[in-house]
Structure 1
């Protein structure tokens, strides 16, 4: 979950794995996005603790993300992003199980 993925370049990246999609991001920009991601995850964890509804918080966050990403990047790139997120969790679970 530590990688910054530029959705506008995801299709090109997935068709050519040798391209580095972060070449136009500075290390400062990447760090800013990582901090933003981490802070939002903390907010979502806090909301889960306060409301005691992990499913509700997950659905609300997922709905918001899906709608915003679709509006900004279209269906294919949004679906590819979510698929990549799910693959990351599956890989993490596989590693943890070993």
Structure 2
């Protein structure tokens, strides 16, 4: 089974993403903050991370850097930061794709 870690603090956005992915048959694990995200990542076999940049405790950038230091898992940043410089920063820290909300 393909495991997707959704890291998003906005519950409604999380519910929508998870509903679509569940419908397609993916197994989703949801983390609502950075600490949970890192814990779930280390304890599970994750194939894809959908990562918000702005989280209440640890930034998405920091999570991306920590994950990238130990894994080549695919990371999609899903964020409200839409400036070109934000996108460039996202790619520079290791995300594989950058999607604006």
The answer to whether the superposition gives a TM-score over 0.5 is: no
The structure, 1 or 2, with the larger RCO (C-alpha pairs under 8 Å, 6+ apart) is: 1
Structure with greater strand share of residues: 2
TM-score, normalised by the number of residues in structure 1 = 0.28
Q: Which has the larger radius of gyration?
A: 1
